[in-house]
């Protein structure tokens, strides 16, 4: 059945990816409404060969809309998502506004698609780093419960939107030309540099990105007791996040068993060539749907073969944001 779709935040990096993915996956669109802030009014967005005007996002934007894909920031989601629901739309929200609301499903379709049917008008799209970790970790957890998960992320600038990517490119050109790097989006130079993730640090010493991964994974897995700790950093890569994940299982498990479980897991591709030292890289994941996994090896510091290390890489804009939301919308059909 054809659906009337609205995209809130259409001019941003994730909004543009929504357009691309809806086209590529032949989503059954009857009509589409392009929404953004007043600054973008007057622009046009092309969808399936036709130009659509960008309209201002308001509380009256959603009459007749079936599904609203939101990537306009948490404040705008809190302001306008309830109006969309009141108008009869189902909102798939990419911000953190509703993720930890107990009445809002937090969904990675490869993990907990069944939670979608519990929605009351809003479905939350998880944090990008959470999605990229959860897709390969979940099939392992189902087979052998995970007791502890230690994650170190290497996060692309796309997590800060188009402005983050522009800053990386502009700074790189300037530094190579012998000029000083100009910092606008980030507090520190990102070109040829790495720094702690640029989210607020809480009283426990962890930044918001790290705590999102902890809390969201527990909710998605419906496993409040799983021990999780994270360190998140920003690296000078355009759009793919990498993560080093250490897992402690309830029972013994081998690297070959992990490979076998992941070989046919939905949304996962293996690149695990020990002979040629060839493992997942951002260049592999860019513009692709799957999360790539490699460097699968035993954690020899744990007894009884209960520990495994894996390395994962996924496209932050795509599977980490827009694709996951569109997959949720497909499940709604």
- Residue 179: which pLDDT band, with cuts at 50, 70 and 90? very high
CATH superfamily of the domain spanning 3-126+321-332? NAD(P)-binding Rossmann-like Domain (3.40.50.720)
Over pLDDT 90: what percentage of the chain?
99
Pairing of strands 195-196, 227-234: antiparallel
Confidence at residue 247, expressed as pLDDT on a 0 to 100 scale? 98
Q: How many helices (H) and strands (E) does the chain have?
A: 9, 14
Confidence at residue 173, expressed as pLDDT on a 0 to 100 scale? 98
pLDDT digits over 41-60, tens only?
A: 999 999 999 999 999 999 99
Q: Is the pTM of this model over 0.85?
A: yes
What fold characterizes domain 130-320? Dihydrodipicolinate Reductase; domain 2 (3.30.360)
Nearest to 286 by CA among 240, 232, 219: 240
| Tokens representing residue 268 in the block | 């996962």
Which position has the token pair 């609205």?
A: 6
Q: Which residues of 311-324 are buried (b: 16+ CB within 10 A; e: fewer)?
A: bbbbbbbbbbbbbb
CATH code 3.30.360.10 region(s) in the chain: 130-320
Contact call for residues 298 and 141 (beta carbons, < 8 A): no
Nearest to 34 by CA among 26, 12, 24, 49: 12
Over pLDDT 70: what percentage of the chain?
100
Mean pLDDT to the nearest integer, 272-276: 97
Which residues, 6 or more positions from 191, have their beta carbon under 8 angstroms from its beta carbon?
Answer: 168, 171, 172, 174, 175, 181, 236
- Residue 260: which pLDDT band, with cuts at 50, 70 and 90? very high
Q: Is the pLDDT of residue 1 over 90?
A: no
Confidence at residue 101, expressed as pLDDT on a 0 to 100 scale? 97
Mean pLDDT to the nearest integer, 96-108: 97
CATH code 3.40.50.720 region(s) in the chain: 3-126+321-332
Mean pLDDT to the nearest integer, 269-283: 97
Pairing of strands 291-298, 195-196: unpaired
Mean pLDDT to the nearest integer, 151-156: 98
**Phi/psi at 272 (nearest 5 deg)?**
-140, 65
Confidence at residue 308, expressed as pLDDT on a 0 to 100 scale? 98
Confidence at residue 199, expressed as pLDDT on a 0 to 100 scale? 95
pLDDT digits over 200-250, tens only?
A: 999 999 999 999 999 999 999 999 999 999 999 999 999 999 999 999 999
**Phi/psi at 213 (nearest 5 deg)?**
-60, -40
| Tokens representing residue 197 in the block | 């993730």
Query: Which residues have a catalytic role annotated?
Result: 128, 241
**Residue 303 and residue 38: Cα distance in Å, rounded?**
59
């Amino acid at each position: 059945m054809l659906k009337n779709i609205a995209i809130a935040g259409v001019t941003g990096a994730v909004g543009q990816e929504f357009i691309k993915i809806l086209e590529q996956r032949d989503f059954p669109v009857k009509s589409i409404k392009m929404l953004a802030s007043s600054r973008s009014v007057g622009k046009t967005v092309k969808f399936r060969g036709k130009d659509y005007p960008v309209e201002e996002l308001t509380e009256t934007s959603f009459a007749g809309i079936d599904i609203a894909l939101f990537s306009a920031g948490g404040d705008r989601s809190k302001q306008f998502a309830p109006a969309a629901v009141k108008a009869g739309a189902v909102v798939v929200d990419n911000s953190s506004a509703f993720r930890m609301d107990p009445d809002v499903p937090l969904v990675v379709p490869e993990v907990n698609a069944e939670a979608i049917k519990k929605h009351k008008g809003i479905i939350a799209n998880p944090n990008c780093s959470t999605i990229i970790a959860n897709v390969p970790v979940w099939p392992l957890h189902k087979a052998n419960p995970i007791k502890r998960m230690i994650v170190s992320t290497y996060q692309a600038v796309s997590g800060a939107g188009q402005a983050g990517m522009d800053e990386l490119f502009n700074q790189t050109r300037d530094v190579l030309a012998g000029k000083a790097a100009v910092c606008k989006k980030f507090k520190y130079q990102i070109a040829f540099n790495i720094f702690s993730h640029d989210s607020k640090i809480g009283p426990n010493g962890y930044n918001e990105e790290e705590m999102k991964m902890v809390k969201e994974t527990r909710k998605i897995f419906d496993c409040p007791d799983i021990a999780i700790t994270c360190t998140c950093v920003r690296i000078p890569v355009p759009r793919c996040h990498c993560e080093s994940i250490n897992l402690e299982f309830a029972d013994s498990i081998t690297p070959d068993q992990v490979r076998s479980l992941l070989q046919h897991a939905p949304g996962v591709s293996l690149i695990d060539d020990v002979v040629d030292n060839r493992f997942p890289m951002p260049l592999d994941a860019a513009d692709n749907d799957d999360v790539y996994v490699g460097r699968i090896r035993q954690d020899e510091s744990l007894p009884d073969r209960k520990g495994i290390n894996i390395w994962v890489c996924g496209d932050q804009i795509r599977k980490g944001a827009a694709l996951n939301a569109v997959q949720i919308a497909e499940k709604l059909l």
